[in-house]
Structure 1
Amino acid sequence: MNERLKILRKTLKMNQQEFSNKIGISQSALTLMENGKRTIRDVYITQMCHTFNLNEAWLRTGEGEIFITSKTFSLDEQAKKNNLTDLEIAIMRGYMNLDREIREKLMDELEAIFKISNETAATIEDKSIDAEIEAELEAYRKELEAEKKGKTLSALLKSERKESS
């Protein structure tokens, strides 16, 4: 079983630290299990099967496929996998209990909200860019005006000097 544990971890493309974190054990405990120096306890087998959708028979005996392919969708499994809060689960269950017609109307409303939200975000971004350009243009305009005034002032000073000499 220790060799299959190592095969599982490598199949999942995880290092020992990542794998051990997922099943709630230390890296050193995993190393000992993979090397056959520590027995793999049932609690860890259960945790691995749940976390990685693993075929327990394969892990224990090498028989069958490594992973179990689920043919159905389980909200509870997905909720655990994605760390959903109780409120998120209640919202999803409530949504699934709505009549089809109400769900369709709700989806239309949500689609409109997200479309407006995306358009608003794009408009705000465009306005932000426009404001930034306007600010740069105004700063450049002031520089040019100051430069022209400087030239005008220096030309005026030169002509006054010529007149006084």
Structure 2
Amino acid sequence: MNARIKKIRGDLKLTQEEFGKILGVSRNAIANIESGRVTPGDTLIKLLLKEFNIDKHWLETGEGNPGENHLSEQDIKLADIFANITVDSNSSKNKKIKNIIETVFMLDEEYIDALEVLASGLVNKKEKAK
């Protein structure tokens, strides 16, 4: 996968710094991914697929056409959200969102279900207040 990521960047004629900025990571992170020292996480992969319209199967295996992205609309929306949180990580709101996400990952499914109901209720209450 690292060679294909390097190929994407090379085809776009972007420096590691420019490529990293688009993906919300440092030049060093891109260098480590391209060299194979680090495997990119799911969030970065989803963002890469969305930003550059890359096919996930091609990125993972090298098989098929690199230019056909098959992400769901929800995955694309989440990639956008995570990219915004990562790029503007110093804002108070985004720090709180990151903390909430980290906390939710530690919960059992029954608590996640309850949290989903609570969050939906809060959004509905906010929309009715408008």
**TM-score normalised by L of structure 2:** 0.51
Would the alpha carbon gap of residues 55 and 25 (structure 1) be closer, same or farther in structure 2, given more than 3 Å must change? same
1:31 counterpart residue number? 31
Report matched runs for 1:1-165 at 5 Å.
Answer: 1-68=1-68
Gaps of 5+ in 2: 71-75, 81-130
CA offset at residue 35 of structure 1?
Answer: 0.3
Name stretches of at least 5 consecutive residues in structure 1 with no aligned partner.
Answer: 71-75, 81-165
Pairwise CA RMSD? 2.2
* CA distance in structure 2 between the partners assigned to 1:42 and 1:63 by the alignment: 19
C-alpha contact 2:50 2:69 (8 A) present in aligned 1: no
Which whole-Å CA distance do the structure 2 matches of 1:43 and 1:7 have between them?
Answer: 20
Paired AA for residue 17 in structure 2: Q
The structural deviation recorded for 1:54 is 0.8
> For residue 93 of structure 2, what is the aligned residue in structure 1?
none
Give the number of equivalent residue pairs: 73
Larger radius of gyration: 1
Residue 30 of structure 1 deviates from its aligned partner by: 0.6
Encode CA deviations 1:105-156: one digit per residue, 9 max, x unaligned: xxxxxxxxxxxxxxxxxxxxxxxxxxxxxxxxxxxxxxxxxxxxxxxxxxxx
Query: Higher RCO, 1 or 2 (CA under 8 Å, sep at least 6)?
Result: 2
8 Å CA contact 2:55, 2:67 repeated in 1:
yes
Amino acid at match of 2:62: G
SS across alignment from 1:64: coil
Q: 1:33/1:41 Cα in 2 relative to 1: closer, same or farther (>3 Å)? A: same
Compute the displacement of 1:16 (Å): 0.6
Shift of 1:69: 7.5
| Paired-residue identity, % | 36
Q: Provide the rounded CA distance (Å) in 1 between the counterparts of 2:35 and 2:69.
A: 29
Query: Structure 2 CA distance, aligned partners of 1:30 and 1:4?
Result: 12
Distance (Å, rounded) in 1 between the aligned partners of 2:62 and 2:55: 9
Structure 2 vs 1, CA of residues 34 and 69 (structure 1 numbering), >3 Å: closer, same or farther? closer
CA distance in 1 between partners of 2:47 and 2:39 (Å): 15
